[in-house]
Amino acid sequence: MPGGEARAADALAAATDSFSAVGIETPRLDAELLLAELAGTDRATLIVDRDLTLEPSVARAFSEAVRRRLRREPVAYILGSRGFRHIELLVDRRVLIPRPETEMLVELALEVGPTEVLEIGTGSGAIALAVADELPDSRVVATDVSDGALEVAIANARRLGLGERVEFRLGSLPEGSARFDLILANLPYVPDSDGLPPEVGQWEPEGALFGGPDGTDVIAEVLVGIGAAGIEAPVIGLEIGQGQGERVAAMLRASGWPETEVRLDLAGIDRVVVGRRSRPGVDA
């Protein structure tokens, strides 16, 4: 090839084979995502144009990205971003990578149509910023116990132009009593004994993953904290893990949300528990 340029098709084939050899579940997809981003094109072009060549600088960057992926570093961390609903978020090892299932909490917000929202454990800011993006009349208070996570979330808010409507606070809960229309939280819910894929267990922040022996310790602590702080909301939505639905629903009923519903994700797994107060303003 002129100038030592490599064919994209050959680079993709080699990367796919390498990823398959180490047990990566989506080898071809991962290779295409990495190369498309680095080459400034799209996956369709990579697939259709068999004669597409790569500039030497792109080929070198792709080789380094492949090396990182072979160490099981997630694609989102390699690229430094992840799409979530209608927004693109910066992500790194200080925050969890937003999952499609978490969009169910944003969908709950769209159902409720809140003006004042509290999000607990914001991480990258995905939920808070998506809610602010899709509900222009809403204001969101978003908390996290991690300084590093809040740095990422604030950077995302500024980048998306949503910093005026999302207030980030360090800590589990805002100080003092307050009333919101909706509380949302994706708290750590993985049981301590669960084995995780290398992309998760070796790379994503442990403190945002594990929730005690059965995965619900952090959820229980936060619900107690909400009641103790005098924080009120007629509706609450919590992301959960497989088999936790009825247990967390019982926690919500005991915490002052008597009407509960367990929602399943597309795989049929418990994913969100919604609690409602029959009379808004009833004390927790």
Q: What is residue 2's predicted lDDT score, i.e. its pLDDT?
A: 47
| Gap between the Cα atoms of 147 and 141, Å rounded | 16
Give Cα 40 distance to the centre of its chain.
25
Q: What is residue 193's predicted lDDT score, i.e. its pLDDT?
A: 79
Q: Would you write out the chain's pLDDT as a tens digit for each of its 284 residues?
A: 444 578 999 999 999 999 999 999 999 999 999 999 999 999 999 988 888 999 999 999 999 999 999 999 999 999 999 999 999 999 999 999 999 999 999 999 999 999 999 999 999 999 999 999 999 999 999 999 999 999 999 999 999 999 999 999 999 999 888 999 999 999 999 999 788 999 999 999 999 999 999 999 999 999 999 999 999 999 999 999 999 999 999 999 999 999 999 999 999 999 999 999 964 444 43
| Beta strand pairing call for 139-144 and 116-120 | parallel
**Long-range contact set of residues 244-253: C-beta below 8 Å, sequence gap at least 24:** 244/189, 244/214, 244/215, 244/216, 244/270, 244/273, 245/270, 245/273, 247/214, 247/216, 248/216, 248/219, 248/273, 249/273, 249/275, 251/216, 251/219, 251/220, 251/223, 252/223
| Beta strand pairing call for 116-120 and 166-170 | unpaired
3-class secondary-structure state, position 31: helix
3-class secondary-structure state, position 103: helix
**Number of helical H runs and strand E runs in the chain:** 11, 13
Q: What is residue 282's predicted lDDT score, i.e. its pLDDT?
A: 40
Tokens 């090839």 belong to: 1
CB 162 within 8 A of CB 132: yes
Q: Which fold has domain 85-276?
A: Rossmann fold (3.40.50)
The H or E element that residue 235 is part of is: strand 235-239
Closest by Cα among 16, 11, 3 to 52: 11
Tell me where in the chain the CATH 3.40.50.150 domain(s) lie: 85-276
3-class secondary-structure state, position 271: strand
Helices 27-39 and 8-21, interaxial angle, to 10°?
140
| Gap between the Cα atoms of 128 and 131, Å rounded | 5
Q: What is residue 246's predicted lDDT score, i.e. its pLDDT?
A: 97
Tell me where in the chain the CATH 1.10.8 domain(s) lie: 2-71
Q: How distant, in Å, are the alpha carbons of 55, 123, 169 from that of 149?
A: 35, 5, 11
Q: Which fold has domain 2-71?
A: Helicase, Ruva Protein; domain 3 (1.10.8)
